[in-house]
């Protein structure tokens, strides 16, 4: 699922995952530590080219004039499971800051705020995204996802990621001991 949207924050730029990113992404996913942190299975290079999901590459925002001059920092994904009209539809969010130099600098938080605001078409309830400079408004997402349909699954040992999603309004709704992970869902305000 390719989108033409480019989402710009203060620290990051989210660009659609394209063939030009696959080599670097495949190199990242060859790292067993990253695969363990992201609960990912190893894929061949051909399988990486075939992935179908809403994926943005996270670029470190350094050059607004030439996107290719910005370094890749990680990726953010939305896996759509089922059809939006189905009762069991969910949209699973995943994020990875693969480059050590960009971890613990707010990149993941900003990327998630941009993506969640984009896919829910919400007023920026996740952040101050509306105040972030955009050169042009992004096109609408492939479909709006209701915030109650957002889910994340995180290794119980990945406390930084759990804290990150708590900060965004997610809550742990169950612990899956067999997979050593927690499931978190967006908790809506009743206001």
**Placement of tokens 């480019």 in the chain:** 6
Q: How far apart are CA 99 and CA 79, in angstroms?
A: 22
Q: Does residue 185 lie within any of the structural domains?
A: no
CA distances from residue 21 to 41, 88, 135 in whole angstroms, order as listed: 19, 32, 23
- We report the CATH number of the domain holding residue 62 as 3.40.630.30
Sheet with 181-186, strands from edge to edge, namely 7-8, 12-16, 54-60, 72-81, 90-97, 150-155, 181-186, 170-176
Q: Does residue 71 lie within any of the structural domains?
A: yes
Q: How far apart are CA 38 and CA 169, in angstroms?
A: 21
Q: Does residue 29 lie within any of the structural domains?
A: yes
Residue 51 has a pLDDT of: 59
Burial class (CB in 10 A: 0-12, 13-18, 19+), 20: exposed
Q: Does residue 190 lie within any of the structural domains?
A: no
Q: Does residue 34 lie within any of the structural domains?
A: yes
Task: Indicate the number of domains in the chain.
Answer: 1
- pLDDT string in tens for the chain (191-residue length): 445 778 888 999 898 887 788 888 888 988 988 887 777 778 888 777 665 468 899 999 998 888 889 999 999 999 878 777 788 888 899 999 999 999 999 999 999 999 998 888 765 545 434 334 444 455 565 567 889 999 999 999 999 999 999 999 999 999 999 989 999 998 876 55
Classify 82 as helix, strand or coil: coil
Judge contact between 76 and 58, C-beta under 8 A.
yes
Closest listed residue to residue 77, CA positions, set 36, 48, 42: 48
CA distances from residue 140 to 3, 6, 156, 179 in whole angstroms, order as listed: 9, 11, 34, 35
Residue 189 has a pLDDT of: 64
Q: Does residue 168 lie within any of the structural domains?
A: no
Domain containing 91 equals 7-151
Radius of gyration of the chain (CA): 16
Judge contact between 149 and 81, C-beta under 8 A.
no
Q: Does residue 166 lie within any of the structural domains?
A: no
Q: Does residue 127 lie within any of the structural domains?
A: yes
Judge contact between 137 and 130, C-beta under 8 A.
no
């Amino acid at each position: 699922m390719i989108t033409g949207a480019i989402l710009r924050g203060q620290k990051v730029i989210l660009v659609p995952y394209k063939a030009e990113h696959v080599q670097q992404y495949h190199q990242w996913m060859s790292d067993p530590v990253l695969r363990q942190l992201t609960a990912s299975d190893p894929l061949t290079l051909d399988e990486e080219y075939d992935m179908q999901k809403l994926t943005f590459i996270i670029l470190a925002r350094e050059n607004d004039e030439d996107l290719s001059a910005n370094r890749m920092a990680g990726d953010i994904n939305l896996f759509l499971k089922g059809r939006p009209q189905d009762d069991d539809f969910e949209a699973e969010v995943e994020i990875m800051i693969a480059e050590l130099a960009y971890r613990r600098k707010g990149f993941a938080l900003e990327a998630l705020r941009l993506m969640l605001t984009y896919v829910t078409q919400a007023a920026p309830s996740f952040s101050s995204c509306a105040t972030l400079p955009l050169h042009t408004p992004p096109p609408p997402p492939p479909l709006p996802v209701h915030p109650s349909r957002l889910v994340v699954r995180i290794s119980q040992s990945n406390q930084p990621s759990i804290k990150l999603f708590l900060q965004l309004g997610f809550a742990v709704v169950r612990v899956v001991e067999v997979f050593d992970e927690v499931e978190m869902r967006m908790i809506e305000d009743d206001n």
